[in-house]
Structure 1
């Protein structure tokens, strides 16, 4: 009877070991599947990161172009203003020159009159 009890206990232990072994193999298989998924996700995350960096670089490039465009427009506008200011100054200079020429002619006439009287 004792032997039967021992045999029965050994059979229980053997069954439990088989169950553990089966569960271990299932866990191993599941672990391999998860490792495979992790590898796939790593590759996908690297692709997404590269895509993000490309978009970020493109955006920075566009910002730089827009900034340069704004500066260029500002410089052009400033250049236009300078050009307009130069034209206005040239017009004023021309007007002053004509007035000075008029004064010089009047002074010449006065000198001629004084010389004629003298």
Structure 2
């Protein structure tokens, strides 16, 4: 199960980067479309799955060697969920908030993988 957590970490990072890139492109074009909106929800789904798998590992008495690993995971999850509460009502600016949050979550996920498994 640890290996699945490792693999999912790279899927999360890739998904966040992809969603962020497409979000920035859509913002630049000024088009808020269905595919972009669905892709910006992908990092949230992946991070919830990653956190659930991490909690299962904790319940099985698997611990990360560095306690910062848990902080990076929790903050990354909070970052991708924050636009739901704080983003402005304007659809274009809201899109930018989701794109930026996905990029920050990718950076936090990358840093979280560096703290070990």
TM-score normalized by the length of structure 1: 0.25
Where is the helix percentage greater, Structure 1 or Structure 2? 1
TM-score normalized by the length of structure 2: 0.25
Q: Which has the higher contact order (CA 8 A, sep 6+)?
A: 2
